[in-house]
Structure 1
C-alpha cells in the first residue's frame, strides 16, 4: 500500500495542482490569514479598482473546512484524476484547456445578475463531475451507502441532495450547464459537423511542454501538435455510450 506522499506524487499535474491550491486557500482562510471578501468575485471591484485577481481566486474556494469541503476535495481527487488519467491521458494541455473553458464560461454566466455567485470552486468541481459522468456513464455510484445508481445520473443526484439539505443549488447547476456546454462543443457538435470549435490552442500545448506541466501527445513536426484525425478535443474522442439497463 502506497504512503500518502507516494499517492500525492502519483496524481496527474492539473488535478493535483487544483486540489492543492483549493486546500491551501481554505487553510489560509481558516487561519485568518485571508478573508473570503478578498478573493470573492465582485465585478465592480474588478473593473473599477482593477482587482483582476478576483477573476481567478473564486475558483479555488470550496468553503471552510467541513464535511462538504472534504467531499468536494475528494471529488477532485477521484473524478478529476480519473478524467485526467483516462480520456485525457497524456493530454495535459487538453485537460487544462477544458478547465480554462469552464472558468471563462462560469465567469460569463456569473456576469448575469441572477446567476452571480461570489465563489466558483464548487461549480468547477461540479463541471468535472458532469464530464466524468458522461465519460463513465455506466459506472456504479453509491450515495451515502443508501442508493446505487449509474454515474450518468450522479450530477443530478448531487443537485437533488442540495435541495434536500437546503444548500444553494446554483453552484452545482452552473457547473452542470458549463459541463454540458463543453461536452456539446467537444463531442456532439464535432460528431455532427466534423468541426471542432474547442480545439486546444497551439500556444497552450507549447506552454505545457515548455513548462513541463505534464505530457501532451504529439504528432508530426513540432513539440505539441494535435492529432487532427480526431474530431474530439483529445478527450472523449467522439465516443457515444448506451446506458445499459
Structure 2
C-alpha cells in the first residue's frame, strides 16, 4: 500500500504536487500548533514595515482549519491544477510556473485593495477560471445537482460561497485575475493588431524546462501525441 501510494504521489505532475503538498503541510502545521494563522495571513503593513516577506507566500498556502471548506478547496485546487498541467500546459512547465507567478503577483497587488486575508482560495478560483475558458464545451456536474458548461463554473463557485455565507470577494478576485491572464494570453494576441504580451522569461525555461527523458511517462505520452498529430497531418 505504501509503495503504491508513493508511486501515485510521484506520478502527480511536479507543479501540482509541489503546491498541493505545501498547502496540506501548512494546514497540518497550523493544526499541530507549530504556527498560528496570524503568522501566515496577508498583511501589507507587516510585510512592508516589519519585513515579514514570508506572508507573500504563506497567504497562498493556508485554506483554513480542517473541515468542509478545507477539503472543498484542496480538492478543487488539486483537480483543476492537475488538469491544466496535464492538459494545455503539458510539456510547458515553465509556462505553467509563469502562470503561477503572474497570478500570484497580480493577486497580491489587488489584495492591497480587497478585504482578503488568505489568497489561496482566490488562486484556486483563478486556476478554475483559466481551465474553464480553455474548455468551453466541456460539461461540468456540480455535486450531482447542476449540469452546465465549463465557463459557468467559477460563477457557480461564487454563488455557492454566497449560499454558505462567505464573502464573494475571494471568488471575484480569482475570476478577475484569471480573466486578465486569459485575455492577455488567449484573446488579445489573436485580435487584429494584437500581439503576445505575456512571455515566459528565459530564466524560467532554463530552470523548469528540461530535455525529454525517455523513461518519463509524461514525456513519452507527449511524444506519442505529437507523432500522432504528424501522422494525421
Q: By how many angstroms is 1:173 displaced?
A: 1.0
In structure 2, the partner of 1:220 is none
The alignment status of 1:144 with 2:143, answered yes or no, reads: yes
In structure 2, the partner of 1:202 is 202
What TM-score does the superposition give when structure 2 sets the normalisation length?
A: 0.86
Q: Deviations over 1:212-240 (max 9, x none)?
A: 9x9xx9xxxxxxxxxxxxxxxxxxxxxxx
In structure 2, the partner of 1:31 is 32
In structure 2, the partner of 1:105 is 106
Say whether the 8 Å CA contact 2:92–2:209 is kept in structure 1: no
Say whether the 8 Å CA contact 2:93–2:209 is kept in structure 1: no
SS of 2:130's equivalent?
A: helix
Structure 1 residue ranges without an equivalent (≥5)? 218-245
Q: Supply the distance in 1 between the matched residues of 2:179 and 2:14 (Cα, whole angstroms).
A: 24
In structure 2, the partner of 1:160 is 159
SS of 1:149's equivalent?
A: strand
Q: Supply the distance in 2 between the matched residues of 1:72 and 1:7 (Cα, whole angstroms).
A: 21
In structure 2, the partner of 1:227 is none
SS of 1:167's equivalent?
A: coil
What TM-score does the superposition give when structure 1 sets the normalisation length?
A: 0.81
The alignment status of 1:57 with 2:21, answered yes or no, reads: no
SS of 2:166's equivalent?
A: coil
Alignment of 1:170-185 (within 5 A): 170-185=169-184
Alignment of 1:106-145 (within 5 A): 106-112=107-113, 115-145=114-144
Q: By how many angstroms is 1:97 displaced?
A: 0.3
Q: Supply the distance in 1 between the matched residues of 2:37 and 2:45 (Cα, whole angstroms).
A: 16
Q: Supply the distance in 2 between the matched residues of 1:9 and 1:160 (Cα, whole angstroms).
A: 35
Q: Between Structure 1 and Structure 2, how many residues are aligned? A: 211
Q: By how many angstroms is 1:12 displaced?
A: 0.7
Say whether the 8 Å CA contact 2:27–2:65 is kept in structure 1: yes
Q: How large is the Cα RMSD of the aligned pairs?
A: 2.0
Q: By how many angstroms is 1:105 displaced?
A: 0.6
Q: By how many angstroms is 1:194 displaced?
A: 4.3
Q: Supply the distance in 2 between the matched residues of 1:28 and 1:157 (Cα, whole angstroms).
A: 31
Q: By how many angstroms is 1:203 displaced?
A: 1.1
Say whether the 8 Å CA contact 1:109–1:116 is kept in structure 2: no
In structure 2, the partner of 1:189 is 188
Structure 2 residue ranges without an equivalent (≥5)? 220-233
Question: Which structure has greater helix proportion?
Answer: 2
In structure 2, the partner of 1:92 is 93
SS of 2:140's equivalent?
A: strand
Q: By how many angstroms is 1:188 displaced?
A: 0.8
SS of 2:78's equivalent?
A: helix
Q: Deviations over 1:118-159 (max 9, x none)?
A: 110001000000011111122221112111111111110010
